[in-house]
């Protein structure tokens, strides 16, 4: 079967993993990315995520000469008026018979009805709702598990998940994966299960998540399961609470991890701060952090208004490398990596692989 040719709108940092790991998209070839005027048009995507140069951002989605047959509408991190800047473009592309993939739910019913009326394929990305057997008790998971968590948002957590997938797949392992993004399915693995966001008790979620992972183990027979944990392990502050670490808390009671990567923002860290972070993980969740992956984003307090959303700024990958190098000189027994640096990515993944292999051939084969 031929891959579908896709374009993405509106492109910002939220869509960056789709571009950086485009060769791992399942059944799709990425042809171009588009953003509204003023969002860095005709500049490389490196201006958005701070990574290596890779693809030019365009603006004229209506008159573009780029050949594509499917349009992915991905909700951005930045504020954008959907009815003014997005819906008219969607209608235009539906009239051109472009398939629509929605990861933004405003006017969803209208868009689906229009697609149906014009016989245009339309799908909506969502958290995983596949049925599974509920055993009403905790089951033993025998496959090694790697957790990817974060101390805040914008910590490149999904990049780390894709980095692990890329490495272990290339090494010949059969990987099962649960991702933090709804568009995880575009890469061929599951998104976080929908029941984790529903109004049921935490005790029910603990058992359900355990049984959900157990069914993945039985059906997919993986060598390794990679699990991304949504939200943050702790609140940033009272206003930006990131669910108070509720997802991490539920999962910590549901299954055990064999290796843990914690993602952190760019910044100045010392031994005391890292010890505090490791102790939070150990005594709050029972987790021993194997390494930290430092993002190239930081909270820009000078741009964040008292009653507004947190504003983030970024640094380039080289500056991030320098920050990590200087930090490592001042701390002991701490592993820190840059998920945008190929050498760092390989070293981090190899370290995780070596740890899993040290458990013996019964753990990862």
pLDDT band at 243 (very low <50, low <70, confident <90, very high): confident
234 and 96 both lie in a single domain:
no
Query: Position of tokens 């394929």?
Result: 121
The reply to whether 252 falls in a domain is yes
Residues 152, 116: one domain? no
pLDDT in tens, 86-141: 999 999 999 999 999 999 988 899 999 999 999 999 999 988 777 676 778 899 99
Angle (nearest 5°) at CA 208 between 204 and 213: 155
Average pLDDT taken over every residue of the chain: 90
Q: What is the mean pLDDT of residues 173-199?
A: 94
Do residues 316 and 167 both lie within one domain? yes
Given a cut of 70, whether residue 216 has pLDDT beyond it is yes
Structural domain boundaries, residue 51: 4-124
pLDDT at 9 over 60: yes
Mean pLDDT of 341-351: 96
The answer to whether residue 135 sits within a structural domain is no
Residues 161 and 116 in one domain: no
In this structure, is residue 85 part of a structural domain? Answer: yes
350, 214: one domain: yes
Q: Residue 314 domain-assigned?
A: yes
**Residue 198, token pair as written in the block:** 């529903």
pLDDT confidence band for 61 (50 / 70 / 90): confident
Instruction: Reply yes or no on whether the pLDDT at 49 is more than 80.
Output: no
In a domain, 231, yes or no: yes
> What pLDDT was estimated at residue 212?
94
Q: In the numeric block, which tokens belong to residue 286?
A: 């029972």
Task: Report pLDDT for 361.
Answer: 47
| Cα-trace Rg, the chain | 21
Same-domain status, 109 and 156: no
**pTM (predicted TM-score):** 0.90
What total number of domains does the chain contain?
A: 2
Q: Is residue 244 within 8 Å of residue 174, measured between CB atoms?
A: no
Is 131 part of a structural domain of the chain?
Answer: no
Q: CA 183 to CA 103: how far, in whole Å?
A: 7
Q: The domain spanning residue 116 has which CATH number?
A: 3.40.50.720
CATH number at 211 reads: 3.40.50.300
> Are 280 and 341 within one domain?
yes
Judge if 164 and 231 occupy the same domain.
Answer: yes
Lowest mean pLDDT among 39-43, 270-274, 311-315, 331-335: 39-43
In a domain, 134, yes or no: no
Residue 145, classed as helix, strand or coil, is strand
């Amino acid at each position: 079967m031929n891959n579908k040719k896709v374009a993405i709108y509106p492109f910002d940092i939220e869509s960056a993993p789709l571009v950086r790991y485009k060769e791992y998209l399942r059944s799709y070839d990425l042809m171009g990315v588009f953003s509204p005027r003023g969002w860095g048009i005709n500049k490389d995507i490196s201006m958005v995520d701070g990574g290596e140069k890779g693809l030019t951002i365009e603006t004229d989605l209506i008159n573009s000469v780029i050949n594509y047959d499917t349009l992915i509408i991905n909700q951005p991190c930045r504020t954008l008026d959907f009815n003014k800047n997005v819906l008219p473009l969607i209608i235009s592309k539906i009239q051109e018979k472009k398939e629509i993939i929605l990861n933004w739910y405003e006017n969803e019913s209208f868009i689906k009805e229009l697609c149906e009326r014009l016989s245009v394929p339309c799908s909506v990305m969502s958290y995983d709702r596949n049925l599974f057997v509920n055993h009403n008790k905790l089951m033993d998971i025998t496959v090694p598990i790697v957790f990817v968590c974060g101390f805040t948002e914008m910590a490149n957590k999904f990049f780390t998940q894709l980095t692990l997938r890329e490495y272990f797949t290339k090494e010949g392992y059969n990987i099962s994966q649960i991702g933090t993004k709804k568009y995880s399915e575009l890469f061929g693995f599951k998104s976080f299960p929908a029941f984790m966001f529903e109004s049921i008790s935490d005790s029910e979620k603990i058992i359900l998540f355990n049984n959900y992972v157990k069914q993945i183990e039985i059906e997919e027979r993986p060598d390794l399961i990679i699990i991304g944990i949504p939200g943050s392990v702790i609140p940033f502050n009272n206003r930006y609470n990131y669910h108070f670490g509720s997802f991490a808390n539920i999962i910590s009671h549901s299954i055990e991890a064999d290796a843990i990567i914690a993602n952190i923002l760019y910044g100045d860290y010392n031994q005391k701060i890292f010890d505090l972070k490791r102790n939070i993980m150990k005594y709050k969740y029972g987790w021993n952090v194997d390494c930290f992956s430092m993002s190239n984003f930081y909270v820009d307090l000078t741009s964040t208004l008292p009653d507004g959303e947190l504003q983030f700024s970024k640094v380039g990958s080289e500056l991030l490398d320098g920050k990590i190098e200087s930090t490592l000189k001042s701390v002991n027994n701490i592993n820190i990596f840059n998920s945008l640096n190929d050498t760092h990515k390989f070293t981090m993944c190899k370290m995780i692989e070596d740890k899993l292999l040290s458990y013996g051939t019964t753990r990862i084969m």
